[in-house]
Structure 1
Amino acid sequence: MKYSNKTATRIIEMIEQDLFGVSEICKIVNINPKTFYHWKKTRPEFKEAVDDAITCREETLVASARMGLKQLLEGYVQKEEKIVYIPDKKNSVEDYEKCRVVKKKHCPPSIRAIRYVLERHDKAQEKAKERSFQARPLIIEVPDEETKRQLMILKKNDFRAGGAYDPEIVAAVDREITIKNEELRMKNGGGAIDL
């Protein structure tokens, strides 16, 4: 079937309103599902409109779920209406309303909903705390030069044991320490530095 704006608009509206799935929508507008996917692939404006409709639908569903969850968390009043009819003596075909009873029932907050929200909140806080720990660099202060040297060897060996037995790693670390000490000596005016 040839692409038409009218058909595309109907498809977008049905997706947005969450009335049907793709196969049902295609049956309603008399197109093959392959045609729908072909249009989506070849027509960027159609694909964008479908994606926007899906996003809008998702946002509406999430808002509805939040409202329902809020109602479960706070409790709500449920109205129950009962109407009693009795046969009309004058007209046997029709009934007339004898009485109408409206009951209001208070539904307390749902413990399951409260637990769900609290657990979700705790998980979010744990993730945030975890991210903040990962974001901070690890800083280790060492009191003496030999410990500093051993830590540098460990770092050069990708934090695996045995780096002190590798002469190349030890030599590289010693060179690095010598260069840093030279830079410090030059920075301090060329005087000798005690280690």
Structure 2
Amino acid sequence: MAKYSEKLAGKIITLIEDNNYTISEVCKILSISRKSFYEWKNFKPEFARQLDEAMDRRDEKLMMGARKALQRKIEGYTLTEKKTTYIPDKDDPSQLIVKNVVVKEKEYAPDTRSIKLILKRYDEKMDKKEETNVQPKQLTFVANNEKTAESLRILRDRLQNGT
């Protein structure tokens, strides 16, 4: 059984916060048993507090990433891909020179399923607020281009007509 130390606890906290490791993975990485980990958690209040805070910080980072990803799916985005081809230099074959660079941009349109999900969740939230007589705020989407604006108008009309 591994012996508890502040240094080992710090490593555990860092692994939990900075990565998406499970408790089993953390124990395996640090060569401690799950039994020891849970004994420390149950009998070392400071360790338990630090562990909870680390998990909260990790979860908040994950939620921020999820929000950003969802926002990209709702708004659409452009992906730029750059491919560089090199060839050996004629004067010095040990050196490489750029033969050509190809840059591709691909547009990804807003994802209607994601938009429908957000609108449905918003409607459910507003229904709950209406039940408690709280005045709802209006949901607004800002389109970056005319194509996106037209897609949102079509989606809004379909949702209002129930189709």
TM-score range relative to shorter protein:
0.7 to 0.9
Q: Distance in 2 between matches of 1:83 and 1:6?
A: 46
Q: Distance in 2 between matches of 1:59 and 1:52?
A: 11
Report the Cα offset of residue 96 of structure 1.
3.6
Q: What amino acid sits opposite 2:111 in the alignment?
A: S
Equivalent residue, structure 2, for 1:100: 101
| Structure with bigger RCO (C-alpha 8 Å, 6+ apart) | 2
* Larger Cα-atom Rg: 1
Output aligned runs, 1:88-127, within 5 Å. Answer: 88=89, 95-127=96-128
Deviations 1:143-179 (A, max 9, x none): xxxxxxxxxxxxxxxxxxxxxxxxxxxxxxxxxxxxx
Report the Cα offset of residue 113 of structure 1.
1.3
Q: What amino acid sits opposite 2:15 in the alignment?
A: M
Equivalent residue, structure 2, for 1:11: 12
Report the Cα offset of residue 6 of structure 1.
0.3
Output aligned runs, 1:1-195, within 5 Å. Answer: 1-88=2-89, 95-132=96-133
Percent sequence identity over aligned pairs: 41
Q: What amino acid sits opposite 1:34 in the alignment?
A: K
Deviations 1:83-121 (A, max 9, x none): 223355566676542101111222221111111110111
**What residue ranges of structure 1 are gaps of 5+ in the alignment?**
134-195
Q: What amino acid sits opposite 2:79 in the alignment?
A: Q
Query: Cα RMSD over matched residues?
Result: 2.1
Equivalent residue, structure 2, for 1:144: none
Report the Cα offset of residue 10 of structure 1.
0.7
Report the Cα offset of residue 128 of structure 1.
2.3
SS, match of residue 79 in structure 1: strand
Q: What amino acid sits opposite 1:124 in the alignment?
A: K
**What residue ranges of structure 2 are gaps of 5+ in the alignment?**
135-163
SS, match of residue 105 in structure 1: strand
Change in Cα spacing, 1:91 to 1:19, as seen in structure 2 (3 Å) is: farther
Q: TM-score, normalised by structure 2?
A: 0.72
Count of matched residue pairs: 133
